Chain A
Amino acid sequence: MKRVIYIFLIIFLVLLFLKACIRKDIPEQKPANTQNINQRTEFTYPKRAKTITLNGIDYLQSQAPVGNFGGEVILSIFGEGPKTFNPFTSKDATSSQMAGMMFDGLFTTDAKTGEVIPKLAKSYEIKGNNYYVYLRKGIKWSDGKAITADDVIFTWQDIIFAGLGNTSLRDSCMIEGKLPVITKVDDYTVKFTLSRPFAPFLRQLSAEIAPKHAFENAVKKGAKYFDGFYSTTTPPDKFVTSGAFKLKEYIPAQRIVFVKNPDYYEVNTKNEKLPYLNKVVYLIVGDANNEILKFEAKEIDLISLKGSNVAIYKQKEPSSDYKIYNLGPDTGTMFIVLNLNNRKNPDGKYYVQPEKQFWFKDKNFRYAIDYAIDRDNMVQNIANGLAEPLFTAESLNSIFLNENIKGHKRDIDVSREYLTQSGFFYNKNGKLFDKYGNNVEFDLYTNAGNIERESLGVMVKQDLEDLGMKVNFKPIEFNTLVNKMVNTLDWDMILMGLTGSPLEPHNGKNVWNSYGSLHLFNQRLEKTSFDDRLDFEKELDEIFDKASLETNFEARKALYNKYQQIVYDEKPIIYLYSPTRIVAVRKKIKNIYPSMLNGVMYNIEEIYVDK
Chain B
Amino acid sequence: MQEILIYILKRILQTVPLLILVSIMSFFIIRLSPVDPLAELKLNPSISKETLQKEAQRMGLNKPVWKQYLLWAKSFIKGDLGVTTTGESVASKLKERIPNTLLLTLVVIFMTWSVAIPLGMLAAVKWKTPFDRFLTFLTSIGMAVPSFFFAILLLIFAVKTGWFPVGGLTSYNFNEMGLWNKVWDITQHLILPVTVLFTISLAGLQRQMRANILDVLDSDYIKFARAKGLSEKKVLFKHALRNAVNPMITLLGFEFSSLLSGAALTEYVFQYPGLGRLILEAVLKSDINLVMASLMMGAFMLIAGNLLSDILLILTDPRIRVRG
Which residues of A approach B to under 8 Å, CB–CB? Answer: 2, 6, 10, 74, 79-80, 83-84, 89, 91-92, 166-168, 171-172, 227-228, 231-233, 249, 251-255, 257, 281, 283, 285-286, 290, 293-294, 296-297, 299, 477-480, 482-483, 485-486, 498-501, 507-511, 517-518
Contacts and interface: CB of A to CB of B under 8 A. Distances in A.
B80 to A, nearest CB: 14
Contacts of B273: 251-254
A510 B46 contact: yes
Given A253-B278, A297-B162, A479 B35 contact: yes
A252 B96 contact: yes
A283 B41 contact: no
B87 interface: yes
Contacts of B167: 290, 293-294
B317 interface: no
B47 A91 contact: yes
B170 A254 contact: yes
Contacts of B156: 293
A296 B281 CA distance: 26
Contacts of A499: 44-45
B103 interface: no
B281 to A, nearest CB: 5
With a 10 A CB-CB cut-off, give which of B48, B54, B88, B130 has the most chain A CB atoms: B48
B158 interface: yes
Nearest to B273: A253
A299 B170 CA distance: 12
A507 B166 contact: no
Contacts of A92: 40, 86
B172 A293 contact: no
Contact of B43 (A83, A296, A482): A482
A251 B47 contact: no
Contact of A172 (B39, B46, B52, B55): B46
A483 B36 contact: yes
Contacts of A232: 88
Contacts of B268: 286
B175 interface: yes
A479 B172 contact: no
A84 B51 contact: no
Nearest to B54: A167
A296 B160 CA distance: 8
A501 B166 contact: no
Nearest to A480: B34
Contacts of B42: 482, 485-486, 517-518
Contacts of A249: 175
Given A253-B278, A255-B172, A167 B271 contact: no
Contacts of A283: 168, 172
A285 B270 CA distance: 10
Contact of B45 (A231, A477, A510): A510
A251 B272 CA distance: 12
Contacts of B46: 168, 172, 501, 507, 510
B48 A510 contact: yes
B86 A297 contact: no
Contacts of B277: 80, 253, 286
Nearest to A81: B273
A479 B43 contact: no
A74 B165 CA distance: 15
A454 B40 CA distance: 19
A501 B166 CA distance: 35
A521 B227 CA distance: 88
Q: List 8 A-B pairs, minimum CB-CB distance, nearest first.
A: A253-B273, A171-B48, A83-B86, A482-B39, A479-B39, A252-B96, A517-B49, A297-B166
A290 B170 contact: no
Nearest to B37: A479
Contacts of A510: 45-48
Given A252-B96, A253-B277, A499-B45, 9 more contacts: A6-B130, A257-B172, A285-B271, A296-B166, A482-B36, A499-B44, A500-B45, A517-B47, A518-B42
A294 B166 contact: yes
B87 A479 contact: no
A254 B130 contact: no
A114 B96 CA distance: 41
B92 interface: yes
B3 interface: no
A228 B82 CA distance: 13
A517 B43 contact: no
B6 to A, nearest CB: 43
B168 A254 contact: yes
A254 B278 CA distance: 12
Contacts of B39: 478-479, 482-483
A293 B137 CA distance: 32
Nearest to A481: B39
11 contacts: A2-B130, A6-B130, A74-B172, A80-B278, A253-B97, A286-B271, A293-B155, A296-B166, A482-B36, A485-B42, A517-B42
Interface in B55-109: 55, 58, 86-89, 92-93, 96-97
A479 B284 CA distance: 10
A567 to B, nearest CB: 14
B45 A297 contact: no
A123 to B, nearest CB: 27
B172 A498 contact: no
B143 interface: no
